[in-house]
Amino acid sequence: MGTPLRPHLRSALLAGIAVLGCSSAGAQDAVIELPDVNVISSRLGRTAPRVPVQERAPPVRRGAPPAPSPESAPGSAGGSGDVNVELPSGITTGTTITGASTTVVTSTDIERNPGVTIQDLLSRQPGIQVRSLFGGVNGAQSTVDMRGFGATASNNTLVLINGRRINDLDLAGVDLSTLPRESIDHIEITRGNSGAVLYGDGAVGGVINIVTKSGASLPPSARVAGAFGSFNYAEGAASANGSYNTPWGQVSASAYGNAVSSDGYRQNNQLQQQNGVGELRLTGPEGGAYLNLSADNQHLGFPGGRLVTPTFSLVDSDPRGAATPFDYGDKQGLNGTVGVTRTLVPGTELILDGGIRQKKQQAGFFVAGFPDGDRYVDTTLTTYSVTPRLVSNHNLAGTPGKLIAGIDIYDAVYGSDRSNHIGTAPVHRYDLSQLTVAAYFMETVKVRPDTDVGFGARVEQIDVSARDRFDPNAPGGLFAGPEGLPLNSTETQHAWHLGLDHRVNQHFAVFARMAQSFRVPNVDERVGMAPFGFPTNFNLLTQTSRDYEAGFRVRFSQFELQTSAYLMNLQNEIFFSPVSFTNTNLDPTRRYGVETIASWQATQSLLFKVGVAYTRAVFVEGPFTGNDVPLVARWTESVGVSWDIYKKYLVFDGVVRWVGARRMDNDSANLQVLIPPNTLVDLRIGGTIERFFWAFSVQNLFDVRYFEYAVSAIDFITGLPSVGRYSAYPLPTRTFQVKAGMTF
């Protein structure tokens, strides 16, 4: 690390990406199977799509106009992945993992979601908790937590777009609001850590794979929509897609964009955001090529917390006020992926692709009456990647199987200036680079007509170089910490998975798995690992997790159910200590729980869905033995109903979500009062008339005052929570949104 090798390697990555972009090859659309809830079928087999009886229709290609219209089906009856779609060549999905608990959120679920944002939709899924600090405006910078990781959730839940990881090596996490909702075809949720084999570090709590729409095999079409709502919310969205046959194959294109503006629920909570994604694809008889592009631009005000003490509460008296009336964050993102595919032999496809992703962030934080305490952060993070892989459906000695194998190379370069104010010399300049090189395979074998076995492994080498340049003469330097110690480290980590699916009969199936995963510390955790006044050495240990899980699936006529229980044992979990105010490696921790999702198609036009999860995250050694990990609710529940009142012309959707009490951030001692439980009701009514569509939705129907995040004050003498004193981040009360548009 730190030698001339890295620039040459980066140049090679860029050259490889350029070669991929210039390569020409015909294309074949390979079919990537999704896990079947149908307990009769193997995961290597296919199953018919579940739609209401009166709306039975042949399966459609990814990105095709729904058949029937989204407004004519009350949602996917199979809430656990029973979706039959063809994915364009080159997309590897996480839900091919045998033995894992999986769910597929369909385009119909997304279209008819009464909660408006993707984060709201995910919060209905068992085992997923969502947390917002910034007023929940369009879901901007909300955190998605799978299986109870609290403050570090964003680094323990891996997010993919079309099978490619988009998590960065900073603490910010993935902001799902930067992806236009209309561009999403479906979302695949794989719970637990088995996704680490295919996708690497960070897949500890689970994997969320967002599959976007494509224009393949579609006639030219377009869609425009507008929305407005509470707090001067306004949104415009437009999309277009189509395909054209040429002598070299079919050329298809799609583009989706939206712009959002809102004053926000709280003071200094305004949001300005623009997003766009697009795809260009060539599909021929034996191969193909594709280009995916996306960009986003966001400005968001940070209102801060509302102080609560034993004698007064700003949460009650002034929930919409701002403790930090001038703090803000700006973000600009660019992402490009280019790839080619080639069918080597029937059933075996080679995918060569690479990408460049860049995120720029600027943020200002101000201290009233103490300008030397102000901070301005200007950060650029660029990630180069090359991810060749092989997907093979094979039959060895009469035993069918499917193999996914590949190599991942990711080179991330981080630079961050930390100054007193915009335009002044930086007090600290942090430079960190991380190179990961990995090889992996995942094999699924149908050992019997009723039994699938999956196994896989990954070996990954991580090289990290970190430097800090400190200027004590810069403005504000007098009140800054000392220069950090340089770091050059190399380590090798492993992940593996073993899973089983067994279909007992046509109504009942069981599944089980065990797996190991790892998570590498992010750059912000490395920077913040030393107490104030002491130099950081950037050297945190890598977190590891060993999972065990078992469950069953049931289907009787129009009723489906999936339930599973899991145990996770973690070593060196990375955590912020409220005692030393540093990031550190914990003593061993444990998570265990039960997750259940069920759906019932009561009639051809009426669908019910229920989700329940029990999640425990506890310290098992050290000073907090037996205590709950903060910010994790033990119980979460949701009930949803979808009703086609009059065909596609008038439809209704409603969701009730309940989240139990949880410990506040900084309260590992479990002494502070709890974040109260809350029950929210969201409703939506809409319809489609020929080319026109409309919807009216209400969120938090009963005007509940609540918050999802609070941080406990600490007594500096004892190092324990100051009971009754904390800062909470109130979220919107009742809001509404009206949406209308048309297709062409």
Q: For the residues 340-357, what does the mean pLDDT come to?
A: 94
Write out pLDDT tens, residues 666-678: 999 999 999 999 9
Q: For the residues 283-292, what does the mean pLDDT come to?
A: 92
Classify 5-743 by CATH class: mainly beta
Q: Which of 175-179, 511-515, 656-660 has the lowest mean pLDDT?
A: 175-179
**Is a pLDDT exceeding 80 seen at residue 463?**
yes
Identify the three-state secondary structure at position 504. Answer: coil
Residues 6+ apart with CB under 8 A from 691: 742, 743, 744
**Is a pLDDT exceeding 60 seen at residue 76?**
no
Q: For the residues 556-560, what does the mean pLDDT come to?
A: 94
In sign, the C-alpha dihedral spanning 5, 7, 8, 13 is: positive
> Higher-confidence residue: 184 or 18?
184
Closest CA to 466 of 574, 539, 411: 539
Residue 680 corresponds to which amino acid? L
Residues 6+ apart with CB under 8 A from 304: 322, 323, 324, 327, 727, 729
CB contact at 8 A, 523 and 485? no
For 126, other C-beta atoms within 10 Å of its C-beta total 27
Identify the three-state secondary structure at position 314. Answer: helix
Write out pLDDT tens, residues 85-101: 445 544 444 446 999 99
Give the model's pLDDT for residue 134. Answer: 79
Q: C-alpha angle 331/334/336, rounded to 5°?
A: 160
Q: Which of 222-226, 388-392, 477-481, 530-534 has the lowest mean pLDDT?
A: 530-534
Cα(609)–Cα(508) distance, rounded to whole angstroms? Answer: 19
CB contact at 8 A, 632 and 664? no
Cα(660)–Cα(678) distance, rounded to whole angstroms? Answer: 7
Identify the three-state secondary structure at position 182. Answer: helix
Q: What backbone phi and psi angles, to 5 degrees, belong to 15?
A: -65, -40
* DSSP sequence for 633-688: -SEEEEEEEEEEEETTTEEEEEEEEEE--BPPBT-TTS-SPPBPPEEEEEEEEEEE
Strands 128-131 and 143-146: antiparallel
Residue 310 corresponds to which amino acid? P
Give the model's pLDDT for residue 530. Answer: 64
**Is a pLDDT exceeding 60 seen at residue 9?**
no
CB contact at 8 A, 184 and 104? no
Structural tokens at position 325: 């009336």
**Is a pLDDT exceeding 50 seen at residue 576?**
yes
Cα(680)–Cα(158) distance, rounded to whole angstroms? Answer: 27
Cα(414)–Cα(377) distance, rounded to whole angstroms? Answer: 13
Residue 356 corresponds to which amino acid? I
Please tell me the number of Cα atoms within 13 Å of 542 on its side-chain side: 22
- Using alpha carbons only, how large is the chain's radius of gyration in Å? 25
Beta bridge mates, 185? none
* Percent of the chain whose predicted confidence (pLDDT) is above 90: 70
Mean pLDDT of the chain: 86
Q: Which of 55-59, 510-514, 573-577 has the lowest mean pLDDT?
A: 55-59
**Is a pLDDT exceeding 80 seen at residue 39?**
no
117, 119, 125, 126 alpha-carbon torsion, rounded to 10°: -150
Could you tell me the residue ranges of all domains in the chain?
5-743
Cα(473)–Cα(483) distance, rounded to whole angstroms? Answer: 13
* Percent of the chain whose predicted confidence (pLDDT) is above 70: 86
Question: With left for phi above 0 and alpha for psi between -120 and 50, is residue 501 left, alpha or beta?
Answer: beta
Give the model's pLDDT for residue 72. Answer: 38
